[in-house]
Amino acid sequence: MSGMRLAYDVVDVFTDRPFAGNQLAVVHGADDLTTEQCLAIAQEFGFSETTFPVSEVAGGREYAVRIFTPGQEVPFAGHPTLGTAWVLRDRGRLTGDDVVQQCGAGPVGVRFDGERVELSAVPRDLVGPVPEDLVRDLLRTVGLSHADLAGEVWAAGCGLTFVHLPVSEEAVVRAVPAARPMPELAARLAEVGPLEDLLDAIDVYAVAGAAPRLSVHARVFVPGAGVPEDPATGSSAAGLGMALVASGLLPEGGSYDIAQGIEMGRPSRLHGRVEAEDGRAVRCHVAGQVRPVATGEIAVP
């Protein structure tokens, strides 16, 4: 494929205006690229994620995609799911309002509803409450102390699993990106309970309001995947719904609006919704808007 060039689109996800939200590059015609080539392109863009959808779309409704951070391939991610679906529909390749994305974590439903795109995912990992000694070390990793804690800490995810750290509103602002990956903390988390999809990532969040509708201010740090801080994280938002149910803040399910990326100058808005049965999340939904920013061609590495 030497000398070839591939078309791409850049969109901003979880925002109602360009140059905010989370950037995503969608690279087309990359079916024959190796993992190393995909990773090189993801590093070239330098966004939190870059996606590579396959050329074939079955019936205008089902497609497969590979998702890369600058550091690795990941089985699932939120803003790449919504952004890729939006781009494929904008290019006329997706024709239905309800479509299915096949990715490393399995099938993910995506629904178009007016200006919003919404993903639906099934819970996979839930471990907690995390023991106090480990919570202290997790807080320390992001520059906070036990005095900042505001609830139970859970590890939860629907294909990518994050540690969800509830703190005060003031502590969210004061938190700092984790300086380095946390393999030792990840090993200790695995001792708390079985985790299939643990990512080296921490979601620091503060909650306002009461069930069944909450407001959340979040910051997400992903040092292990080469993303010091992420401006909008749909996969974390999905897992947060699980944590909110498990910790008793949304015991019967409900909705939660997340403000993220403010401290980075990329304000984002994510709309979460979680269904619950018997005090446990059974389905997580995350919605947002997408705005186009650029199109072009990129050389094949």
Q: Degrees (nearest 5) of the Cα angle 175, 180, 185? A: 85
Radius of gyration of the chain (CA): 18
C-alpha–C-alpha distance, residues 301 and 299, integer Å: 6
Pair 128, 246: CB distance under 8 Å: yes
- Catalytic: 49? yes
Cβ pair 111, 285 in contact under 8 A? no
Per-residue burial over 170-183, b if 16 or more Cβ lie within 10 Å, else e, is: ebbeebebbeebbe
How far is it, in rounded angstroms, from Cα 161 to Cα 241?
Answer: 12
Report which DSSP code applies to 27.
E
Q: Which of 36, 44, 49, 191 is catalytic?
A: 49
**Distance from C-alpha of 214 to C-alpha of 210, rounded to nearest angstrom:** 6
Which residues does residue 106 pair with via DSSP β-bridges, in sequence order? 103
Find all residues with CB under 8 Å of 34, minimum gap 6, and list them: none
CA 38 to each of CA 44, 70, 300: distance values in angstroms, whole numbers, following the listed order: 10, 10, 9
Residues forming the active site: 49
